[in-house]
Amino acid sequence: MPNTASYSQRKSHYSKMLTIYGRKPALEALRDKGVNCHTLHLAVSNRSSSITAEILELANQRGMVVRQHSKAALSRISKNGKQDQG
């Protein structure tokens, strides 16, 4: 969305988006070509695992923006620190 868009346009755009919490739900969404994924937010502190490796691989294949944050910053972004799982 261009920076020149009004607040109401941006709000309308983002209100149509779904935020997915958790590694397995995110992985399922990324595997589904019918789901339009925009940005992947990860905690820097995530341990390497086969799930996170596949999530990153699928995000890269889709050309998605991948942003890494501290756990505290990710909790602020998600507004759901108990559910975001990094």
Over the chain, what is the mean pLDDT? 84
**Per-residue pLDDT at 4:** 67
Q: Measuring CA to CA, which residue among 74, 71, 45, 41 is closest to residue 55?
A: 41
Q: What is the pLDDT of residues 18-44, one digit of tens each?
A: 888 888 999 999 999 999 998 999 888
Q: Nearest 5°: phi and psi at 44?
A: -60, -30
pTM of full prediction above 0.85: no
Instruction: Please answer whether residues 71 and 45 qualify as being in contact, where contact means their C-beta atoms are separated by less than 8 angstroms.
Output: yes
Instruction: Name the 3-class secondary structure at 66.
Output: strand
Task: Flag whether pLDDT at 51 surpasses 80.
Answer: yes
CA distances from 83 to 34, 76, 77 (A): 24, 12, 12
